[in-house]
């Protein structure tokens, strides 16, 4: 049977139509697909532990999967419990913060009056209009907040269930992937799945290690500066740092505002400098050391992926875009005809260099990940 080659315009139209259809389906299936894809990452992370329980303690597959999920629940509960306690302290001091912000506001108001010659009555008029508009939409804001909270709890419940099911039926899923393709592609599919599993597991575990180190560095630096709520601000910086590029900026803004309300502009400026310093250490040492370079996507497509992920799935889309772009990069590099797309997502060809080693003690050293 003779194959008919489609013209370039027809191929381009089919590709664009496929992208639009996939994007539309992703928007429609957000409630199902977002927790499912997040669960896949968690399953990759918990898979060695589940295998260890099966081999070492002879656990059944279901018992091992449930135990791994319970471990994840315990870790998440510990993080949220500690974060909740810190937020409780902030809430107890909220009236004092409001008073300090009010004082700072009056100082700014006086500065505006002296600098721009806008009297206080006009400033109050502008503020009154803004407050009236805010009050008019307060009901909508409260409703949106409650809806977001309920959606987050539903997302967490789906994530835990899907993680258990993926771990429990992992061999069935792997068998499906290897048999759904033609026999001559079975070896390549097995290699792709193994490489994705290994690299994504290292990436996710590296992110958690990176989050822990950034949190500790921020807490130590802020405590040294005498910043109030240093532990809370350090936790916010570490957790938000998981979201590439935009996360650290959001954490910096929150921390600077809280510090400004509690200690003034000078201390807030020091906090900004601490964030810049820790982010520099994170990007140049921690990221290549604990995460490695194989999963790296070039900054252009990483940023585009973050924006598209936020447009489609919100915060969860911003977090999921990088690991799944890395999966696509691995697949593209292995499939004939798609190698140029894999190279486009990567950082280009670089000359091989010796991996950096950081010696902690005479017997302990850290070597940069591949």
Q: What is the pLDDT of residue 162?
A: 94
DSSP line for 202-237? HHHHHHHHHHHHHHHHHHHHHHHTT-TTHHHHHHHH
Q: What is the pLDDT of residue 164?
A: 94
Stretches in the chain below the pLDDT threshold 70: 1-4, 96, 101, 104-106, 109, 116-151, 244-245, 290-296, 348-370
Q: What is the pLDDT of residue 359?
A: 61
Q: Which residues contact 100 (CB under 8 A, 6 or more apart)?
A: 261, 262
Q: Which helix (H) or strand (E) holds 289?
A: none
Tokens of 67: 């135990």
- Spatial distance between the Cα atoms of 203 and 322, rounded to a whole number of angstroms: 10
- Identify the residue whose tokens are 């409260």: 142
pTM above 0.85, yes or no: no
Q: What is the pLDDT of residue 71?
A: 92
């Amino acid at each position: 049977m003779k194959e008919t080659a489609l013209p370039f315009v027809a191929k381009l139209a089919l590709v664009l139509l496929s992208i639009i259809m996939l994007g539309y389906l992703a928007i429609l299936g957000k409630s199902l697909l977002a927790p499912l894809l997040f669960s896949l990452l968690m399953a990759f992370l918990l898979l060695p532990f589940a295998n260890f329980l099966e081999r070492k303690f002879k656990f059944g597959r279901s018992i091992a999967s449930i135990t791994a999920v319970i471990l994840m629940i315990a870790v998440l509960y510990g993080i949220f419990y500690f974060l909740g306690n810190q937020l409780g302290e902030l809430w107890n001091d909220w009236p004092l913060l409001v008073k300090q912000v009010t004082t700072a506001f009056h100082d700014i108001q006086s500065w505006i009056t002296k600098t721009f010659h806008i009297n206080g009555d006009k400033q109050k008029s502008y503020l009154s209009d803004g407050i009236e508009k805010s009050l008019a939409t307060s009901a909508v804001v409260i409703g949106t907040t409650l809806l977001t909270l309920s959606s987050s709890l539903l997302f967490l419940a789906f994530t835990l269930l899907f993680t258990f099911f993926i771990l429990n039926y992992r061999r069935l899923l792997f068998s499906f992937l290897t048999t759904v393709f033609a026999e001559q592609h079975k070896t390549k599919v097995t290699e792709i799945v193994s490489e994705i599993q290994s690299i994504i597991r290292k990436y996710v575990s590296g992110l958690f290690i990176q989050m822990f180190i950034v949190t500790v560095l921020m807490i130590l630096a802020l405590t040294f500066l005498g910043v109030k709520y240093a532990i809370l601000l350090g936790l916010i910086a570490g957790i938000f740092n998981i979201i590439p590029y935009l996360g650290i900026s959001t954490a910096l803004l929150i921390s600077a505002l809280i510090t400004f309300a509690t200690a003034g502009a000078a201390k807030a400026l020091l906090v900004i400098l601490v964030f810049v310093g820790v982010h520099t250490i994170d990007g140049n040492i921690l990221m290549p050391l604990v995460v490695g370079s194989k999963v790296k996507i070039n900054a252009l497509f990483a940023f585009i992926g973050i924006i598209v992920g936020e447009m489609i799935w919100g915060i969860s889309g911003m977090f999921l875009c990088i690991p799944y772009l890395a999966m696509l990069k691995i697949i593209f590099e292995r499939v004939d005809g798609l190698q140029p797309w894999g190279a486009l997502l990567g950082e280009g060809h670089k000359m091989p260099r010796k991996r950096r080693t950081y010696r902690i003690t005479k017997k302990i050293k850290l070597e940069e990940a591949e």
